Amino acid sequence: MNAVTSQEVAALGTTFIRASSLPEMFDCPSRWHAKQILGLRTPMSGKAALGKAIHASTGAFDAARVLGSPITADDAAGAAVDALHRPDEDVDWEDDSPQKAESIALALHGKYCAEIAPTQDYAAVEAKCEALTISDLGITLTGTIDRVYRDDTGALGIADIKTGKTAVSAAGEVKTQGHGLQLATYELLAETAIQQPITAPARVVGMQTGVTAKAQRIALGEIDSPRDALIGDQDQPGALQHAAAMLKSGMFYPNPRSMLCGERFCPIWHTCNARK
Ligand code: SF4
């Protein structure tokens, strides 16, 4: 188990947690500690680079529309190409390549701009929340919210793009399982960033990153009230209370059964006894 130093414990009084890192905190706390507290890194995977590229191009497309100066899907697509060929961090492409990823990114970007974006009424795109401090837990949440959408009644909700090889089933259903905690955190951050209540269901824009056109699917899914599991109540603590307890104790247990327990994804894989 990774225990933090006394200096770290002092710093943990005001721990910043990136919303995007929360799933990893509960997947393998020891790996989360190595990356988020110790600052250790592994190169980004090709899969993550592809997701980042799609976020960049679709974000450019939607942001321009929200600002009232729309650009074409082709113009916005350049952001995906740039992200793949000039990444701002090391990428371990392994069996993939920037060229292969580009073809998938451009196909999904085109589909998104033609089929999904025109159906959405976005109020904000890539809104940043620098800090949301929950003082009684000693946690400060931070992150960027993909989108805030407005539903038919005018209520606001967050929308998040999720890419992956199993993001959308052949029947067109989006895999929402496992995203609740992160989306709930984005809801809290969005309320701080735009200073308006978020009451509509959290929306997942699923993008299946298959190689063939048939396997490049896009669909919408929703999660109602994801905050229940994050915040909890008097009888049942939520994920944030569990996170606070872990941070307070300084004990970050390892989980060798994590799907990402491997040399490519964990910066302390070589020294972690738990996975041996
Ligand atoms: S090697 Fe596996 S168990 Fe150990 S910290 Fe890394 S992911 Fe967790």
Over the stretch 83-122, which tens digit does the pLDDT of each residue have? 999 999 999 998 889 999 999 999 999 999 999 999 999 9
Residue of 266, 271, 273, 276 with the most ligand 1 atoms within 8 Å of its CB, for mutation: 266
Q: Which residue has the tokens 């000039």?
A: 86
Distance 15 CA to ligand 1 centre (A): 22
Ligand 1 within 6 A of CB of 25: no
State the angle between helix axes of 98-111 and 46-66 in degrees (0 to 180), rounded to the nearest 10. Answer: 30
CA dist 35 and 27 (Å) reads: 13
Which residue has 């929703």 as its token pair? 222
* CA 83 – ligand 1 centroid, Å: 29
Range in 5-9, 211-215, 238-242 the model is least confident about: 5-9
**Which amino acid is present at 10?**
A
Q: Are 79 and 56 in contact (CB under 8 A)?
A: yes
Q: What does the alpha-carbon distance between residue 83 and residue 87 come to, in Å, rounded to a whole number?
A: 5
- Single-letter code of the amino acid located at 55: H
DSSP code string of 187-240? HHHHHHHH-S---SPEEEEEEE--SSGGG--EEEEEES-THHHHHB-SSSB-HH
How far does the centroid of ligand 1 lie from the alpha carbon of residue 179, in Å?
21
pLDDT band at 13 (very low <50, low <70, confident <90, very high): low
Give the model confidence (pLDDT) of 118-159 as tens digits. Answer: 999 999 999 999 999 998 889 999 999 999 999 999 999 999
Ligand 1 atom nearest the C-alpha of 258 is 7
CA of 8 to the centre of ligand 1 (A): 20
- Could you tell me which residues are beta bridge partners of residue 201? none
Ligand 1 and 269: CB distance under 6 A: yes
Q: Where are the alpha helices (H) located in 15-164, listed in sequence order?
A: 22-27, 29-32, 46-66, 73-85, 98-111
Percent above pLDDT 90 for the chain: 84
Testing ligand 1's pocket by substitution, the residue of 21, 24, 28, 252 carrying the most ligand atoms inside 8 A of its CB is 28
Kindly state the average pLDDT of the residues 221-239: 88
Ligand 1 pocket mutation, candidates 25, 27, 252, 261, criterion most atoms within 8 A of CB: 261
Q: Is the CB of 255 under 6 A from ligand 1?
A: yes
pLDDT score recorded for residue 4: 44
Q: CB of 30 closer than 6 A to ligand 1?
A: yes
